[in-house]
Amino acid sequence: MFEKRAYILGYDLEETVKPNVDCLMSFGISKEALASVIAQYPQILGLPLKAKLSSQQFFFNLKLKIDPDGFARVIEKMPQIVSLKQNVIMKPVDFFLGRGIPANDVAKMVVKCPQLLSLQVGLMKNSYYYFKSEMGRPAKELVEFPEYFTYSLELRIKPRYQRLQSKGIRCSLAWFLNCSDLRFEERLKGEYIEAESFGPTFIMGGKLELPGSEIVSEEEYESDDEILYRRTVSL
C-alpha cells in the first residue's frame, strides 16, 4: 500500500492519523474492520474526517432512512462514501424509488451493497430492464440480492441466465451470479441445488461494460467530480 501511495507517509501521526482512526471508531466502525477500511481508501487518514462523517451520517439518516449503525456498516464496506457528493448518492437512490421499491427496502439494499451508490444509472437501467422483461422476476429479489447490479449485463448476467434457461434451471440471483466461472459450471453439472453463500464470499462482477444494444433512450451525463470519484472507487 505504501509503495503505491507514498503520500500517506506525509500524514502527521499525532495530529491527523490517530485522531482519524479514533474518529472512525467513534462513528461505529468496528476495530476488526479498521484495517480493511484504510486499505480500501488510504486517503481517509488525511481527511477532515469528523466533519465529513458527521455530514454524511446526517444525510444518510435524513434522506435514505439509514440509522447510525447502518451508516457504519456502509463505511466499513465502502469508505469512499465519506467523499461522495450527496447529489451523486441520490441518483441511484432515486432510480430505485422510481421503480416502486419502498424507501425502507432501498435502505436495506444500500447497507448490504453500498457499491450501488457508485454505479452509473444508465447501466442500472439496462440491467433492470433485462431483469424485468427477460427474467420476469419480482423486485423483492433485487432487495435480497442488490449485488445483481454490480455484474456486467453482457459478460455475466445474460450468458449465465441463458445457460440456466437452456437447462430449465430455476434458482436465485445469488446462486448463479455470486460465484466464479468454474463454480458456475460445477453447479450446472450438479444434480442438486447447493446452499448459497453470502457475506465475505461476495464476488464483484468486475468492471461494468456498456451493453452492446442500447436499451436506454436518454444519455447519462456525469460531472467531472462524479467521473473522478468513480475512477477512485475502481482503483
Note the Cα 160 to chain centre separation in Å: 21
Distance CA 203, CA 209 (A): 17
Residue 192 has pLDDT above 80, yes or no: no
Q: Output the pLDDT for position 16.
A: 84
Can you give the three-state secondary structure of 78-120, one letter per residue? Answer: CHHHHHCCHHHHHHHHHHHHHCCCCHHHHHHHHHHCHHHHHCC
State the cell numbers at 1: 500500500
pLDDT band of 164, cuts 50, 70, 90: very high
Mean pLDDT of 113-121: 96
| pLDDT digit string, tens, across residues 219-235 | 343 444 444 444 444 44
How do residues 3-58 score in pLDDT, each as one tens digit?
555 556 556 668 789 999 999 999 999 999 999 999 999 999 999 999 999 999 99
Of the chain, the percentage scoring pLDDT greater than 90 comes to 72
Interval 96-111: pLDDT, tens? 999 999 999 999 999 9
pLDDT for the residue numbered 190: 79
Condensed to tens digits (0 to 9), the pLDDT of residues 70-84 reads 999 999 999 999 999
Question: Given a cut of 50, is residue 212 above it in pLDDT?
Answer: no
213 within 8 A of 221, measured Cβ to Cβ: no
Amino acid at 233: V
The pLDDT score that the predictor gives to residue 226 is 47
Q: Does residue 93 carry a pLDDT above 60? A: yes
Mean pLDDT of 118-139: 96
Backbone angles phi, psi at 172, to 5 degrees: -75, 165
Q: Where are the domains of the chain?
A: 120-235
Name the burial class of residue 1, with classes exposed (0-12), middle (13-18) and buried (19+) by CB atoms within 10 angstroms of its CB: exposed
Nearest to 128 by CA among 96, 97, 105, 159: 96
Averaged over 163-180, what is the pLDDT?
95
Q: What is the pLDDT of residue 12?
A: 61
What phi-psi label fits residue 28: left (phi over 0), alpha (psi between -120 and 50 degrees) or beta?
left
Is 214's pLDDT higher than 80? Answer: no
Quote the pLDDT of residue 207. Answer: 39
**Which has more confidence, 180 or 213?**
180
Residue pair 115/204 in contact by the 8 Å Cβ criterion: yes
Q: How far apart are CA 176 and CA 172, in angstroms?
A: 7
Distance (Å, whole) CA 117 – CA 96: 11
